[in-house]
Amino acid sequence: MAHETPLWEVFIRPRNGLSHKHVGSIHAADEVLALQAARDVYTRRGEGNSIWVVPSAAITASDPDQSGENFDPSADKIYRHPTFYDIPDEVGHM
Amino acid sequence: MTHQAFLELADDCLVLGHRLSEWCGHAPMLEEDLALPNMALDLIGTSRVLYDHAGKVEGEGRSEDDMAYLRDERAYRNCLLVERPNGDFAHTMLRQFFFVAFMHPYWQAALHSSDPVIAGVAGKAVKELAYHIRHTGEWVIRMGDGTEESTARMRDAVDALAIYIDELFESSDAAAEAEAAGVLPKRADQRAAFDATVAHVFAEAGLEMPTVSHPQTGGRNGIHGEGLGHMLSKMQSVHRALPGVTW
């Protein structure tokens, strides 16, 4: 059965104010059953309060062979990190 | 006598919960292998509170374990639907759908019970069973309106299980007494909600409810099908071999 049932990626939001985070994948015939399967598989221990499911086929991934050209150039540009500013104490946690 | 009415409710939940748990490790896909035990645990959790409460109301010192593990088949008071064997996936899903289509409005009505324990159980069960209705309803629709094979299997399940529906709405003397006292809702009052839920899903599934000429009944009097004894002998074997064992 599994080989003809589409795969879905599951994203869960642990609580309000946080963003949805990828937690894994499930098989389901359509989006309604996908949400239910995600609920049944990934929220059994109070993991969150919102679920997204996305067809795995809808995700376009970067090519691992291009990871050098994609990601290495950022390694030596420390001036892009906001570490050169003095933040007033009153701002609190940023 | 009220404790017997509670036992009927608890037995429904435990027997169906145990039936569902039999799928654990055998479901057609991993997702359902978790979904079915999830539903089983909801029902078994409900049964535990009800057994404990029944024991206290009875006042003879019987614990939830005594109720679950030390009563024989004839002492069980569950309705016949919940003890039906799992059969195929269509049978299991339809059995669950029929039961929760009845039980969800029942617990909704029980929110107003004069017994705070029953009202508390109802508050939790209403949410749990709302999901059971959604999950099983979607499967009934997909199998009923699916492939040639899934449609045939779901129709077989409807034919096999429809004869157990009427018993859901029958009240034993013990239940009738608790209903009159405002402790439990009237079973018969849930018929309209049940019919509406089933009609809605059956319409989408392309299924028809057969005319039942000989509805089956007897579970509330301890008259069960041949399957319950086998199920109980397995379920009770550890406790009977090693009384009071814990781990």
DSSP annotation of A3: G
Enter the tokens of residue B104.
């969800």
Q: One-letter amino acid identity for B170?
A: E
Residues B92, B36 contacting (CB under 8 angstroms): yes
ipTM: 0.86
Residue from B31, B96, B139 whose CB has the most chain A CBs within 10 Å, to mutate: B31
Please indicate if any CB of chain B lies within 8 Å of the CB of A33: yes
Residue from the list B30, B38, B135 with its beta carbon closest to the beta carbon of A44: B38
- Angstrom distance (rounded) from CA B237 to CA B62: 19
CB contact under 8 A, A44 and B31: no
SS3 state at A55: strand
Q: One-letter amino acid identity for B44?
A: I
Helix (H), strand (E) at residue A7: strand A7-13
- Angstrom distance (rounded) from CA B153 to CA B89: 9
* Beta carbons within 10 angstroms of residue A74's beta carbon: 9
CB contact under 8 A, B38 and A28: no
- Angstrom distance (rounded) from CA A52 to CA A63: 25
Please indicate if any CB of chain B lies within 8 Å of the CB of A2: yes
Residue B134 burial by Cβ neighbours in a 10 Å radius (0-12, 13-18, 19+): middle
- Angstrom distance (rounded) from CA B225 to CA B244: 29
Share of chain B above pLDDT 90, in %: 97
Chain A residues within an 8 Å CB radius of B40: none
- Angstrom distance (rounded) from CA B33 to CA B80: 24
What is the Cα gyration radius of chain A? 19
Predicted local confidence at residue A3, as pLDDT: 59
SS3 state at A21: strand
Residue holding tokens 């009738």?
A: B176
**Residue-wise DSSP of B161-179:** HGGGHHHHT---HHHHHHH
SS3 state at B138: helix
Residue from the list B29, B35, B38 with its beta carbon closest to the beta carbon of A1: B29
Enter the tokens of residue B135.
């999950």
Chain B residues within an 8 Å CB radius of A28: 31
CB contact under 8 A, A5 and B29: yes
Provide CATH code, domain B4-241.
1.20.1260.10
- Please report the number of interchain residue pairs, chain A to chain B, with beta-carbon separation below 8 angstroms: 32
Domain extents in chain B: 4-241
Residue from the list A32, A41, A44 with its beta carbon closest to the beta carbon of B31: A41
Residues B50, B119 contacting (CB under 8 angstroms): no
pLDDT by residue for chain A (94 residues), tens only, comes to 445 899 999 999 999 999 999 999 999 999 999 999 999 999 999 999 999 999 999 999 999 999 999 999 998 888 888 777 788 888 887 6
Predicted local confidence at residue A1, as pLDDT: 47
Chain A residues within an 8 Å CB radius of B88: none
| pLDDT tens, position by position, B144-185 | 999 999 999 999 999 999 999 999 999 999 999 999 999 999
Close Cβ partners of B125 (under 8 Å, ≥ 6 residues apart):
B42, B46, B103, B107
Please indicate if any CB of chain B lies within 8 Å of the CB of A41: yes
